[in-house]
Structure 1
Amino acid sequence: MALFDHDGIRFHFETIGEGPGIVFTHGLGGDMLQTKDLMGEVAGHRVLFWDCRGHGETEPVGPPEKFSFAQLAEDLGALLDHVGMKQTVVGGISMGAGISTAFAVRRPERVRALVLVRPAWVDQPTPENLKWLPQVTQLLEKAGPDGDMSRCRSLPEFAPFRDLSAELMEGLEGQLAKPKAHERRERLARMTRSCPITSWSEVEALTMPALVVGNEPDATHPIAMAEEWARRLPNARLAMIPAKSDMDAHRAGFRMHFQKLLEEIEGEVGA
């Protein structure tokens, strides 16, 4: 385990391999185990995995108001400086896709290629697909640090969740079961209200190669949102992969499309 001190936070990260850089960022409530599982080692490359502020082994939580795409993109830039990655393939899952985009908008010269896996945010706060997440913050606050799922179900604050689909209920239970979920509850509401971009024009100005990955069914990460991102990015390719319900196929599909992207950008360098 490696640690990096920045802005009063001790960030947990790991690099694997040697060669051109790749950084891959996890989703909301996740940690580097999520990204390491999906991407794994990449032959001939140095891959950086990290736990964002308020996630995984990164401590302390820090000020709640710093849960924003702008701040997490700044954290990412500082970490890339720390490990000496000057130009990098930048990507992530869900929230990690948003952080990657926010970084690319601010520092496009440092992004060799952009990889957005199951994007869930757009240019407006609290998109329809994420409206249930701020309510989880309220539920966690009421349940307290020792609240379990059975206690949560008995609370009045659970009422909005009773009609959730089985898929979204699984997502809710996953968020409630996260390590230190009560202590870190503000990340759900504040990140949902944050935006990785201020307008689509910022995305339309990004010229680096891009891969946008979606799957169905996924109510929190609608395929229409992946299609929108792929349309807006001038040099993007949309890839559809199997759903996470078949994790082996999901993982294999992602790795196939990601390897194709690497071959394309490295072929351009060698041309």
Structure 2
Amino acid sequence: MSQQPRSVRSDDLTIAVEVFGKGPALLFAHSLGSCRHQARQLLQPLAESFQVIVFDQRGHCSSTPVTDQARYDPRRMVGDMVAVLDDVGVPQAIVAGESMGAATALLFATVHPKRVQHLLLIAPTSADEANPASEMITALADFAAQYGLQAAADAVALGAMGRGIPRRIAQVVTAHWSHHQLDSFVAAHRAVPKWVLFDSLSPIAALRMPIGVLGWGGDPTRPLSLARRIAAAARRGRLESAESLAEAAGDPQFYARTIRRLLEG
């Protein structure tokens, strides 16, 4: 059940935050187009062991809409994560993220390594190069701008089915798009796929904390090859892989189970 989010100020924006569970702090940054509600559903099984902190990334769901693409700079979004941890009163946490959130979590770890006990990256999309599917994601943003979020969600479902992904899995991915403000959704989907965090993977090699990486095959927006490269570059890296997005999204226990396994490694 959703609780009333706490409001955290960052960069003249309001970031909506929820905290649940007891134990070591685990901060989770959600993916592009997702929100804290979806993150809560994925991570609820961890509440018995962790203090889970989920939040709406800037421009998403209940956080302040952001229509200026320049304000989706990943370094500014790292600042949002700092503000969230400071507001909750957590000096150090397990820091995790998926897709766009994996990028902000990774950058957070390079900028604030002492605040990261363990880094978990799920289906990373950006590091030393832009998302290889950036043109496809930008086209989705253009389609949404013209026809609306529901039409865009329907188009994603049809496209997924054409790639052999069950419609119900695509609907899991797009289930929370209705929570977003349209212009903010469009701006985020035009800006984020262009992110390039580093010139090389050497900043990852310099990190001393354990780094767990989860990737899966058959997803052009979140290439398994990048997950493998990041895990190989890390001095204390560990890779877990799933066969497909359908395996990950189709099992409500998958994220929690995999996170536990990565933390145990």
Q: TM-score, normalised by structure 2?
A: 0.83
Higher relative contact order (CA 8 A, sep 6+): 2
Q: CA deviation at 1:120?
A: 1.4
Q: Note the aligned Cα RMSD (angstroms).
A: 3.1
SS at match of 1:74: helix
Residue in 2 aligned with 1:31?
35
1:66 paired to 2:71? yes
Provide closer, same or farther for how the CA distance between residues 186 and 18 of structure 1 changes in structure 2, counting only shifts above 3 A. same
Residue in 2 aligned with 1:121?
126
Provide closer, same or farther for how the CA distance between residues 204 and 14 of structure 1 changes in structure 2, counting only shifts above 3 A. same
Q: Distance in 1 between matches of 2:149 and 2:35?
A: 22
Q: CA deviation at 1:237?
A: 0.7
Q: CA deviation at 1:65?
A: 1.1
Q: Is the 8 A contact 1:25 1:93 kept in 2?
A: yes
Provide closer, same or farther for how the CA distance between residues 250 and 196 of structure 1 changes in structure 2, counting only shifts above 3 A. farther
Residue in 2 aligned with 1:43?
48
Structure 1, unmatched stretches of 5+, are: 154-160, 265-271
Q: Which moved more, 1:103-112 or 1:62-71?
A: 62-71
One-letter code aligned to 2:222: H
Q: Is the 8 A contact 1:18 1:46 kept in 2?
A: yes
Q: Distance in 1 between matches of 2:176 and 2:255?
A: 27
Provide closer, same or farther for how the CA distance between residues 247 and 256 of structure 1 changes in structure 2, counting only shifts above 3 A. closer
Residue in 2 aligned with 1:235?
236
Q: Distance in 2 between matches of 1:259 and 1:46?
A: 14
Residue in 2 aligned with 1:203?
204
Q: CA deviation at 1:182?
A: 2.5
Q: Distance in 1 between matches of 2:178 and 2:230?
A: 29
One-letter code aligned to 1:227: R
SS at match of 1:139: helix
SS at match of 2:182: coil
Which of these residues, 72, 87, 96, is aligned with residue 91 of structure 1? 96
Provide closer, same or farther for how the CA distance between residues 239 and 140 of structure 1 changes in structure 2, counting only shifts above 3 A. same
Q: TM-score, normalised by structure 1?
A: 0.81
SS at match of 1:57: coil
Provide closer, same or farther for how the CA distance between residues 196 and 43 of structure 1 changes in structure 2, counting only shifts above 3 A. farther
Q: Which structure has the larger Rg over C-alpha atoms? A: 1
Q: Distance in 1 between matches of 2:65 and 2:181?
A: 13
Q: Is the 8 A contact 1:9 1:62 kept in 2?
A: no
How many pairs are equivalent?
A: 253
Q: Distance in 1 between matches of 2:151 and 2:128?
A: 33
Q: Is the 8 A contact 2:10 2:79 kept in 1?
A: no
